[in-house]
Chains A and B, each alone.
Chain A
Amino acid sequence: MPEGLAVLKWDDELGPVVTSKTPKKLQVGLDPTTAMRVYGIATLGETEESQKPGFSSLAFNDFQLAVYYGGLKMHLNGLPSMVFLVLSPEEDADAYKDALPEIATQIFLDADGNKYKKKVPKLYKQLERFTQMTPEQRQASILNDPLRRTIVQTLMRNGTLQSTELEEIILDKIGKQIDVDLVLRPLVKMGIVATGWVEGLASEVIYLTRALFILRKIPLDTIQSIREKSVPQEVADKYLEASRTYHTEYLLKLKTDLFDTIWGDVESLTKFTLDFQAYDIIKLLRQGPVEEEQLKKSFDLDESIIKKQVKKLEKANIIMRVKDSEKRFHILLKCNPELLTVYPEWLIQRTVEMYNEEDIVPSQAMHYLEVLKRSHPSQIEELTTDGE
């Protein structure tokens, strides 16, 4: 765990000034000489106009720094600013390469009236969680972020966007300009979008290569476990009936309105996936039903916290609490919130239609179809076989 987090803002008279830090007692890495080096390494080689955001790390004798520079668009009150983590010499600074820009951006976006200062301790706590996230949680964090969710939704409809259009979406959603690369980076890293240049277009083009969404899936492992008599018969009967009714209705909703059903509860489903306590309960229940008393013993948490989480998950139709004849409660997964990435086959037809209706620049459409061809599962399989 880092020793602390600090925000550094350039001041023309004073040089780099630490405007906020957590914990309050943090001293290491905050001296003026180090602050100048941080500013130097973050902006080295950049002119006043070019200033690109970026992550860098600096090693000193007794500590390390992981630094994120906000670039030209992310100045705090008009002045160059950076957020940095103070780390012990043994820590891997690169482990914060994804998390620090996210935290820093939230700080930069709250620059007005110095509101960010209050957020710093809370964001610092979130940072540790960021680095502990599973791949599934990383995907959930994309859908939980309203801006990235909008981008995924837009791309799932039309397949491709020019970066100038994306800038408009960002401005509309956030009210400020954020670096497009920063917003797209996790999506590119997960193979959900690709970017490229098309001859004749002035801005970069963004393509969807895999669709990302979250579904309430039937918990097959739970059902299998029930069949293997892991719970008393009366519990199994009650569960199966309720589960059948729930999933029949859910499937019907998917058939009638796919878009609204998928996106309608994405926020709450991703919220539970990102809440470590709730997520741990879901992960345990994915393996099969658990008795309530056993559940309480499975986690190093207060009983009241577990009770609260169970109640919330039950209310969100993710789990069920069923009483047996001996008045013991069994907790079962009612639906499995599962993040899925799929090849966006429907976008082949959609792109052709947009091309025919001249809703898209022809070269952009051609390029996207080429991207879709290259990212088709059959092509990837072929490549893998060739590689082998």
Chain B
Amino acid sequence: MIRAIHIFKEDETVFQDIIVPNKDLDTPAIMNLVSASAKRLHEWKIDSLEIERYRYVYLNSHDTQFILTMDRQASVQKVSEAMMTIVSKFMTVFENALAQDEWRTTDFSPFEIGFRAVVSRIPVKVCLAGHGGTGKTTLLELATLPSKGPPQEYVPTFFGDKALLKADFDPYIFSMFDLGGQDRFVQEWSKIIRSGSLVVLVTDSTVENIEWTKRVAYPVLKNELPYARVIAIANKQDLPGALSPEEVGTQLGVPSYGMQANQIDFRNRWLKLLKDLAFEEIESVVIGEIVE
């Protein structure tokens, strides 16, 4: 997931578009550091720098430094390809302005459309993880197949499932992966979840299910996606004896949100949660920092 672009020339910001702000780090200080490193790069050579859960991919062209901020866990290859496209697009329009002193007075803001179009081509990978029968497939279908309505019967997912989700998430589209929750498939998750930016833990609101998640799912997720952000869905809130989302969250060490995935009425809430997770407008944690 590409979060922002910064373009510098002669230490001045030529253009920036921040889709998801970095709330953890001192962005101006990092940009100084990265653009200084970018200046030393050969023309069109791409390099990257990782700090905590972020990766900064940078390139130097026509003495102009391009810096993309991305989720560290996402595919660096795709973002590098996107960088080449972005710079080519930018140069097609602004090469002459950059070559002369004109750039100081040029309005680069129209480039936002071009930048966001490239961003939207790389889907944000969302992994739905949890034990079998907790409602991962139901959530997948609730989001992606609204006309069908959420399934009411449990059919175990073989290996995994996937679907693209286009909703009110501009410029992002989501690539949703439902991970088979039977014990025999958990060891296969590593083949599916690579490059996942976001994880949604799906659990029944019961102590047993939470224990399974901590015992079985956490080791795989912590090993494969330590920098991904995660929330939990405390599903089946309508069942008698269901733990509250807060209680589920406390036991998991992950902010949790209540849900009844088999009810179509919950679709908007589910989409809003996904959107807020991507845009970091709800509380989430980084998987590697989960405190059980």
Contacts and interface: CB of A to CB of B under 8 A. Distances in A.
A191 interface: no
A13 B159 contact: no
A145 to B, nearest CB: 32
Interface stretch (A29-37, A259-267, A318-326, A374-382): A29-37
Contacts of A196: none
Interface in A92-112: none
B175 A14 contact: yes
Contact of B192 (A15, A35, A37, A41): A15
Nearest to A10: B191
Contacts of B163: 32
A178 to B, nearest CB: 23
B131 interface: no
A15 B191 CA distance: 10
Contact of A32 (B75, B125, B162): B162
B161 A13 contact: no
Interface residues of B, number: 23
A274 B122 CA distance: 46
A13 B174 CA distance: 9
Nearest to B140: A33
Nearest to B180: A40
Interface string B189-227: 011101100000000000000000000000000000000
Interface in B142-184: 158-164, 175, 177, 180
24 contacts: A12-B78, A12-B195, A13-B78, A13-B125, A13-B175, A13-B195, A14-B123, A14-B162, A14-B164, A15-B162, A15-B177, A32-B161, A33-B161, A35-B162, A36-B160, A37-B158, A37-B159, A40-B159, A40-B160, A41-B159, A43-B191, A44-B188, A48-B190, A80-B191
Interface of A: 12-16, 32-33, 35-37, 39-41, 43-44, 48, 80
Nearest 6 interchain pairs by C-beta: A40-B159, A12-B195, A15-B162, A12-B75, A13-B123, A36-B160
Given A37-B159, A40-B158, 15 more contacts: A13-B78, A13-B195, A14-B162, A32-B164, A35-B162, A36-B161, A39-B191, A40-B159, A40-B160, A40-B180, A40-B185, A41-B159, A43-B188, A43-B191, A44-B188
